Structure 1
Amino acid sequence: MVELGGYGIAVIAFLVFSLVIGSLTYRLVQKSGKRLIVAGKSLPLLMVGTMFVAQSVDGNSSLGSVALIFQFGFWGGAVIPIGLGICLLMTGLVYGKKLNKMSMFTLPDYYFRRYGNAAEGMSGVLMIISFTILVAGNFAASGFILETTLGIPFVWGIIIAALVVMTYTIAGGLFASAYTDIFQIYLAIGSFWAAFLFFAGGFSGVPFDTILASSPPSHLDLSGLFDVANGALINWAGILALGLGDIVALDFMERVFAARDPKTARRGAFMGAGLTFFTVLPVGMLGIVAIHFLPGLEDPYHALPSLALNHMPFAIGAALLMGVLGASMSTANGGLLAVSSVISRNLLQRIIRRRWLGKEAWNDSKLLWITRLAVIPVMISALTLGYIMPQPGIYLILAFDIVFAGALAPLTLGLFWKKANMPAAVTSLIVGSALRMLMFFVVPLEWAGLDTMIPPPISFALFIIVALATQKKWPGKERHDVNDYVPPEEDLISGEDLKHFKLAGDGTKSTAI
């Protein structure tokens, strides 16, 4: 029988509170698939910004970052929140307003509107793979926290966390994320800073200069950005994969689509970017602190919970454990919903049911239940992967390497280049992703990082070459502004949705601004 101490009681109370609040949002869904997936496109700035940072600051970028810093130095882990902050900044500057205007449910919806079913299906499969990996990393981080604080085997810790997240994801969808993120993520950010200031202020009994001196000089200098021998290629690859590849992120774009208007989507992304950058210093320094206090630690993924349990006051340690657990759960919640939505809406409904079988689309209520059912196999897949290979942090970069290589070019050039067409998109998706997988096996270990950086430029170049070569047969849409996307959504347009659509000059519907 497990004997619970103060930390265990605090963590269990936090789990129960998250489960209750998330499940109570069931009433907000109102039997609507649209409300489950994008909260009815109704969320205000505070919720949108909070949800952005909650997806960014997760178990991978906190517990995973500390573990990587413990092993490889400051830049080895700090690249994660830095890269994610850059991604949100780019989303606000370039992508957020345009994509919010299109009134979409999922990111593969864009590939369908711009390029058709083939690109929709390929991008959807890539995103399902990448986000299952992402959820696996956050399940693993949650499992480490529960294993350490409750004294239970890792397998039970990860199962408990996964079941809690699955339950309130099925119940409230994006509303559950919005309402749980409010208390989960600010607790996490506050506890990171409280823990850092505790050590930086010398309150641990050890001067901070002594703590810093315990680390090798290469762990704290800039060599991690300029010296290949100290991981500079890998670190820059991580920044690029997250800063640019994460733009093609189901969960981030889910929040873009859920914002009540384009201005809210843009400001929310900026808010999320600022708060993400705000975590770089405390999380990075906690990794350095762990080197001093835990020199013989065998498993670096236990560094953060071990610091919280053994080297901090109870209030700070308990808040940190709950904060990391909450951050992991919030991202897992968003990832589960995003993947399930792509499976139900893009793969099952539009490609299999409508394209292949020629049947009518499901109504909004049916889509709701299909999406909820899809959460279960996604949870099981991520849980299994997270248990077999529990590596938060590494998972995050790997997840977005895949979409960075193949899916970023069709998204970006489709938005800003009128000659973008279907053959170019399909070529980019196939060749970029396949090249990334090939380079994983052929690039020597000492040049690791190039396998991330080389495929995306090739993908962009191939996109442009193929688009220009195939213009005669597949001309790009001259009317490529957001008002003129053809075809728009014909399925799942309710009376509430009609205000987002208007007739173009040729009588076809197109999204309204």
Structure 2
Amino acid sequence: MVLNIPGVVAVVLFYILILGTGVWAARKSRKAERKSHGDRTEVVLLGDRNINLVVGIFTMSATWVGGGFILGVAEAVYTPKLGLIWALMPLHYSVSFIFGGIFFAKPMREKKYITMMDPFQIRYGKVLSGALVLPVLLVDLLWVACTLLGLGATMSVILDLPFVYSVWISSAVAIIYTLLGGLYSVAYTDIIQLSLVFISLWMCIPFLFLNPTSTNIAQTAFNHTFQEPWIGTLDHDSIWKWIDDFLMIGLGSVSFQSFHQRTLSASSPLTAQLTCYAAALVIAILGIPPALVGAVAASTDWNLTLYGSPAPYVRGEHSLILPLTLQYLTPSYISIIGIGAVAAAVMSSTDSGLLSATSVFTSNIYKNILREQASDNEMQWVIRVTVVVVGLVGTSITFYTKSTLILWLLGADVSYTLMFPHLVSVLFFKVTNGYGAMVGYIIGLTVRILLGENTVGLPVVLHLPGCTLEEGVYIQKAPVRTVAMLCTFVTTLLFSLLALFMFNHGLLPQRWDIFKVKHGVTASPVDAVTQELRENGGDAECDENRCGVALQPMLQTGS
């Protein structure tokens, strides 16, 4: 193994540029803290709610264009039996942003929540909302691990740099500038990172197309040349799985804290919505280069390259297809540029995962459950420590799997089957209460585990129609994730209604009503504040829209 010195130098220069940008943004964050008359925590976690449209578009798009996105799209297009039709991320993230912009961005931003978990804490109280926080933290940890895994794999192939060094150095850089300036550093470094991703990947494409070992991708799209057509197939047995994946990505992504962190930090509700719509277009465009890399790799006679025979898929290296393609089908200086693209993408998603998990833990667990009277200075230290801990744990996970796609799918699965139905219920169905949420959480999680997941070795216990035994392993043909999601959603609403009925009709004693749902709808603090304002002749509508700030004392006391 010979270290690629020019490549290492290029990566070091890139990291210096990112750190420099982070330091500059940190100074902007300090100025905002001095000018702010509110909570310094809000400045760190949400950029003082002062992120304009242009910066918002960059940071929203860059958050999703990570190592899992770039390497995952290329891997899906290249892998036989998958292909372009299964490379769902770019198109369906676009759908997710549009969906989130229409239904979630405005109501969340108007109420000035700190995190997406605030409405849960307001409606359900401390204990139950604390349990619902756990899946959100797990998703962010997997997100961090997924992005760093992609970078480590790419660097180890192109730079001949040991995987462990690549991952830990990159993680350290992301942790440092996230510590320095919070969301300001994350947002402004995202501008450089996303620009570099766009330019670098498109610079690599012409060299891939001109490589003599590759056949024109138009000819291999539908014809069996070196392997199955890269366009992919969708047979009758897999159509439900395709729909399942579509819904998981298209709907599940709006229950990521990283998404809501961008909309909640926008300078206005309208800016939050416009950010979503513009990012939907940007992310679709950014999905084109990695898809082309996968198509070229599937159209290449690898016997004619220095990589040799057999092909990467046969060797089980399909998850590394993007760095392998850049390494063996482009000049060395171009492959180094490609490294810059992957490094930039990873950084932009890693810092988002770090800050997302930190926001939820510090605001919804530490401040509102563990230490209600924590001072502003104490909260700053909690934020710093949490960023480091999340970074260390997320980085450690990368040593347990080699597939970015598995980590990404696992995180998206948890978000879709558990958090998405709960978020919809708490925001749009006033009948929802703690009893329904608790039962929905338990049943949804149980059903998802029983349905199994072959990619992570979880056996199938509950067989849905169409489940077949293939090579000693049961394979589900039904849309298992959507089934689990619907179980969570339906049971949440049904048991909420059942609890209302039983308490309001005296079938259960009022002293058992720990979630205080008697008298028709959940007696949430939001309703209490609004009613009090109306009774005193205040501008209830205006004040209600500021309930995310007004109710912080109630959140802290668990009212």
Q: Which TM-score bucket, shorter chain as reference? A: 0.7 to 0.9
Distance in structure 1 (CA, Å) of the matches to 2:64 and 2:267: 21
Residue 337 of structure 2, aligned match among 319, 334, 354: 319
Flag the 1:316–1:265 CA change in 2: closer, same or farther, 3 A: farther
Q: Which residue of 1 aligns with 2:311?
A: 296
Residue 280 of structure 2, aligned match among 263, 269, 273: 273
Moved more, 192-201 or 42-51: 192-201
Q: What's the offset of the Cα at 1:101?
A: 0.9
Q: Does 1:235 align with 2:242?
A: yes
Q: Does 1:463 align with 2:474?
A: no
Q: Does 1:485 align with 2:526?
A: yes
Q: Which residue of 2 aligns with 1:12?
A: 12
Contact 2:46 2:261 in 1 (8 A): yes
Flag the 1:240–1:145 CA change in 2: closer, same or farther, 3 A: same
Any residues of structure 2 matched to 1:65-80 within 5 Å, and which?
65-72=73-80, 73-75=82-84, 78-80=87-89
Q: Does 1:254 align with 2:254?
A: no
Q: Which residue of 2 aligns with 1:42?
A: 50
Residue 112 of structure 1, aligned match among 107, 114, 121: 121
Secondary structure in 2 matching 1:14? helix
Distance in structure 1 (CA, Å) of the matches to 2:24 and 2:207: 36
Distance in structure 2 (CA, Å) of the matches to 1:380 and 1:232: 39
Flag the 1:487–1:29 CA change in 2: closer, same or farther, 3 A: farther
Q: Does 1:307 align with 2:325?
A: yes
Q: What's the offset of the Cα at 1:126?
A: 0.8
Q: What's the offset of the Cα at 1:468?
A: 1.4
Secondary structure in 2 matching 1:296? coil
**Structure 2, gaps ≥5 residues long:** 34-39, 303-309, 453-458, 468-473, 504-516, 548-559
Q: Which residue of 2 aligns with 1:512?
A: 546
Contact 2:186 2:348 in 1 (8 A): yes
Q: Does 1:87 align with 2:100?
A: no
Q: Which residue of 1 aligns with 2:371?
A: 353
Flag the 1:309–1:40 CA change in 2: closer, same or farther, 3 A: same
Distance in structure 1 (CA, Å) of the matches to 2:401 and 2:45: 29
Flag the 1:44–1:208 CA change in 2: closer, same or farther, 3 A: same
Flag the 1:486–1:149 CA change in 2: closer, same or farther, 3 A: farther
Q: Which residue of 1 aligns with 2:507?
A: none
Distance in structure 1 (CA, Å) of the matches to 2:334 and 2:523: 56
Flag the 1:179–1:449 CA change in 2: closer, same or farther, 3 A: farther
Q: What's the offset of the Cα at 1:233?
A: 4.1
Counterpart amino acid of 2:67?
G
Distance in structure 2 (CA, Å) of the matches to 1:392 and 1:449: 24
Any residues of structure 2 matched to 1:199-218 within 5 Å, and which?
199-200=208-209, 206-209=215-218, 212=221, 213=223, 214=225, 216-217=227-228
Secondary structure in 2 matching 1:107? coil
Q: What's the offset of the Cα at 1:203?
A: 8.6
Contact 2:211 2:330 in 1 (8 A): no
Q: Which residue of 1 aligns with 2:380?
A: 368
Q: What's the offset of the Cα at 1:486?
A: 4.7
Distance in structure 2 (CA, Å) of the matches to 1:104 and 1:352: 19
> What's the TM-score once normalised by structure 2's chain length?
0.80
Counterpart amino acid of 2:144?
V
Moved more, 466-475 or 387-396: 466-475
Counterpart amino acid of 2:132?
S
Distance in structure 2 (CA, Å) of the matches to 1:41 and 1:281: 32
Q: Which residue of 1 aligns with 2:176?
A: 167
Q: What's the offset of the Cα at 1:58?
A: 1.1
Counterpart amino acid of 1:54?
A
Q: Which residue of 1 aligns with 2:64?
A: 56
Distance in structure 2 (CA, Å) of the matches to 1:246 and 1:74: 22
Flag the 1:313–1:264 CA change in 2: closer, same or farther, 3 A: farther
Question: Number of residue pairs matched?
Answer: 488
Any residues of structure 2 matched to 1:79-228 within 5 Å, and which?
79-200=88-209, 206-209=215-218, 212=221, 213=223, 214=225, 216-217=227-228, 219-221=230-232, 223-224=233-234, 226-228=235-237
Q: Which residue of 2 aligns with 1:432?
A: 444
Q: What's the offset of the Cα at 1:211?
A: 5.4
Q: What's the offset of the Cα at 1:7?
A: 2.9
**Structure 1, gaps ≥5 residues long:** 355-359, 489-500
